[in-house]
Structure 1
Amino acid sequence: MNLLPVLATGLFAGGVSCAAVQGGLLTAMITRQRAAAGEETSPRDWRVQLGDDLAPVGGFLAGKLVSHTLLGALLGALGSVVEISVGVRTWLQIGAGLLVVVFGLAQLGVPGFRRIVIEPPISWMKIVRSRARSQSAFAPAVLGFVTVLIPCGVTLSVEALALTSGSALMGAATMAVFVLGTAPLFAILGYAARKAATAWKGRLGVVTGLVVVVMGLYTLNGGLELAGAPFSASRIAEAASSDDAPADTTAVSVVDGKQTVVITARTGAYSPDNVRAQSGLPTTLVVKSDKAEGCVRSFVVRDQEKILPVTGETRIELGVLQPGRLDYACSMGMYTGVITVA
């Protein structure tokens, strides 16, 4: 297997996609750690300072690399046996979003949240008992390790590739190379968070806190979209909109009493995103991939998840549709659509 495309996927798509969820957790932890530890006032050699600033993100990436490499080995060796359900990932994403929001409110100094700081248990710190740099990296390393439970859409695509490798070694290499590809963006995020946190009592600290809250709300909304919650952003916008655009009917065809709904997946969108179908008919959903990249490739409908090809067709049997609405989305809830059944 050629791993260069996997590296490129991590560099150009994986970093951005994963940063939407995991980057919020990382920046929130680093800024709270820095604020709790206080600000260095004595001048230090720039190389020492740089090492201290990069230690947390280095720990995060090391933990992430270990857990994803182990997952890749398991996927390569065991195939589809290793799988986290859509429902579990949805609640994990909702929980991650809430956690990031809490961190952001803590950074902003909102009463009731100010004292919230994530630190490993004291007994764990014996491992790194004497070095401040190691201590600052330890909690992010634990966080990086558990991000394997909160995958982004691009990660899921790479996991599917590891599944098809049929080899524990190649599966591990696939996931490891992907994580290394995402490293530059995470390094920038972590370093920026570390430097911003030194201005905790100033305007930059407030700006960072607001950014963390926004990232948390974005992550939370993705989970709500996947759960079909009535208070997700798309549902609220739909209810508030005065533009009652008719649902698309051109994407639906009926032949010999069987209905086919065709949706196109392109990078950054599904189209049409509102289709009107008939109730009472056995229905097949055909998703046509048109150079699809990123989260759109991880397609979720009715708690089913299909990894779409970059180019090609994926057929999903929906059974006999009942009146109502059938929502679909990418695995992170970033891109959504609805089939209106009447």
Structure 2
Amino acid sequence: MAGTASCAAAQGGLLMGLVDRCHGRDPVLVGWFLAGRLASYTATGALLGLLGSAVSLPPRARAALLVAAGVMVIVFAVRLMRRGRCAPPSERPVSRYKAPLLGAATILVPCGVTISMEMIAVSSGSPLAGAAAMAGFVIGTTPALALLGYVLRRVSRTRLARVAGVVAVAAGLWTIGSGLNLGGWLPTDTTAPLSTSSLSAPTPAPRVVTVWATRDGYRPAFVTARAGVPVEVIFKVAERGCTSTVTIDGRDVALPATVRLPPQPPGPLRYVCGMGMFTGIINFS
């Protein structure tokens, strides 16, 4: 369920590229989109199983792809909202490769559960096992994307097309924001919330901190650790969601896990979930 919801949100915007306000009645295009998605995920799983983490995209590369995908979704949405005369089908250039290529491109817009599955494929050490893991994940999330594609194509032929376009623009902006957050290109708020304990005598910063991953973010979202010495961050999982994969210190980690950080200088260290939606801060002092 978590994989279905998060991936429909993160990747469903690319379905906007199949929406045609004039000739949006062909469900075969959605089928080709899903087939392209299955093929790209299966091939990626096999490659990850064969070569391991050497072929995994670093977080900042994924962040740039998220920003590009968000821009693409906004372009599709503007096209959907634009009114104009509908040309006969014979006058419209149609690319038979558009739907499967858009489906294949979803591998470049990973949700948090996708990253977890990629890690499973990497650790499998087998092309067959990696392909099976990724293919099984795609098959499980296909019904939600198929329903989303059907709804989008039906709506594109009604007066609700502009409403759908506005929603898609919002989704594109959200995707861009997630990419900027994942890449660390947004300003960091290092202000810790005040509490009664913060007004008492200061205590030495710890060398071990514990953070819980929930559906709504990381708790506590702001922790203090000791600077200049190795620190252990113990990530525990309270609720499964996109926060179950964290990007910290330039690497992806599937939770639960203990992350051992080398000595850090005084100041904040930022970490985010695999989708760039939720942020936490470790302030070294």
Bin for the TM-score computed over the shorter chain: 0.7 to 0.9
Match of 2:279 in 1: 336
Describe how 1:196-215 pairs up with structure 2 within 5 A. Answer: 196-199=155-158, 202=159, 204-215=160-171
Q: Does the alignment pair 1:146 with 2:105?
A: yes
Shift of 1:180: 0.8
1:303 paired residue among 250, 253, 269: 250
Change (3 A) 1:165 1:247: farther
Partner Cα separation in structure 2 for residue 99 and residue 167 of structure 1: 34
Shift of 1:324: 2.5
Shift of 1:67: 0.9
Shift of 1:334: 1.6
Shift of 1:208: 0.4
Equivalent position SS for 2:75: helix
1:16 paired residue among 5, 12, 32: 5
Residue type matched to 2:282 in 1?
Answer: I
2:240 paired residue among 288, 293, 307: 293
Partner Cα separation in structure 2 for residue 83 and residue 327 of structure 1: 21
Q: Does the alignment pair 1:188 with 2:188?
A: no
Partner Cα separation in structure 2 for residue 159 and residue 39 of structure 1: 37
2:47 paired residue among 70, 74, 77: 74
Listed as ranges, the gaps of 5+ residues in structure 1 are: 1-11, 41-48, 115-129
Equivalent position SS for 2:262: strand
Change (3 A) 1:144 1:300: same
Shift of 1:289: 2.6
Residue type matched to 1:295 in 2?
Answer: C
Shift of 1:104: 2.0
Equivalent position SS for 1:229: coil
Partner Cα separation in structure 2 for residue 266 and residue 301 of structure 1: 17
Match of 1:280 in 2: 228
Residue type matched to 1:338 in 2?
Answer: I
Match of 2:122 in 1: 163
More deviation in 324-333 or 181-190? Answer: 324-333
Q: Does the alignment pair 1:326 with 2:274?
A: no
Describe how 1:256-275 pairs up with structure 2 within 5 A. Answer: 259-275=207-223
Partner Cα separation in structure 2 for residue 215 and residue 100 of structure 1: 8
Tell me if the contact between 1:56 and 1:138 (Cα under 8 Å) persists in the aligned partners: no
Partner Cα separation in structure 1 for residue 144 and residue 109 of structure 2: 18
Change (3 A) 1:277 1:170: closer
Partner Cα separation in structure 1 for residue 74 and residue 150 of structure 2: 20
Tell me if the contact between 2:214 and 2:241 (Cα under 8 Å) persists in the aligned partners: no
Tell me if the contact between 1:248 and 1:275 (Cα under 8 Å) persists in the aligned partners: no
Equivalent position SS for 2:252: strand
Change (3 A) 1:145 1:248: farther
Shift of 1:22: 1.1
Tell me if the contact between 1:73 and 1:170 (Cα under 8 Å) persists in the aligned partners: yes
1:302-325 superposed Cα distances (whole Å, 9 cap, x missing partner): 21211124xxxx222222222332
Residue type matched to 2:119 in 1?
Answer: A
Partner Cα separation in structure 2 for residue 140 and residue 248 of structure 1: 57
Listed as ranges, the gaps of 5+ residues in structure 2 are: 85-89
Partner Cα separation in structure 2 for residue 318 and residue 248 of structure 1: 29
Q: Report the number of matched residues.
A: 274
Shift of 1:20: 1.9
Shift of 1:211: 0.9
Question: Percent same amino acid at aligned positions?
Answer: 39
Equivalent position SS for 1:320: coil
Partner Cα separation in structure 2 for residue 298 and residue 177 of structure 1: 19
Describe how 1:224-235 pairs up with structure 2 within 5 A. Answer: 224-230=180-186
Shift of 1:244: 7.0
Tell me if the contact between 2:59 and 2:183 (Cα under 8 Å) persists in the aligned partners: no
**TM, length-normalised to structure 2:** 0.85
Shift of 1:266: 2.9
